[in-house]
Amino acid sequence: MELLIDNRQEEIKIDEEIIKIVKEVVNECLNLEGKNKNYEISISFVNDEEIRILNRDFRGKDKPTDVLSFPMEDDEEVTDYTPILGDIVISAPTAIRQAKEYGHSIKREIAYLTAHSMFHLMGYDHKTEDEKKIMRTKEKQVMRKLGIFREE
């Protein structure tokens, strides 16, 4: 697995602990789906203004959001390069606000946003109640498996 981390914000220090938890979450999401680890995934940490622009341009919603997922449609059958699963963009300021709102750590919030986005990259959505239930169950499985709970 090739995980590319791009930090374009100053609100959260993206240290080894954050990188470690992101890698663990990505790995566990792939495990849960029975996927191999031969993927490239990029995770960018941005500010609210940058994610607002991306949200406007790609989703038609001119407001900040917590996380955006950009799945790639790569050919997994080609073996001479690492297939790209997609890109994840996390808003650091929104993650900080949500962590405070929900009463847990920023580490837990980043882990959850990473899991949420990974399932989007793998084709899941939450447009209907049934889809939402499936996706939330998978997110909870990953968080539980890694021992990351809201109380942190």
Q: Which residues are annotated as a binding site for Zn(2+)?
A: 116, 120, 126
**What is the rounded CA–CA span in Å between residue 7 and residue 42?**
11
CA distance 105 to 96: 8
Quick one: tokens of 72?
A: 């790639």
Of 57, 37, 55, the closest CA to residue 46 belongs to 55
Known binding-site positions: 116, 120, 126
Q: Counting beta carbons within 10 angstroms of the beta carbon of residue 64, is it exposed (0 to 12), middle (13 to 18) or buried (19 or more)?
A: buried
Task: Identify which of 63, 68, 70 has the alpha carbon closest to the alpha carbon of residue 46.
Answer: 68
Burial per residue of 33-52, b for 16 or more beta-carbon CB atoms within 10 angstroms, e otherwise: eeeeeebbbbbbbbbbebbb
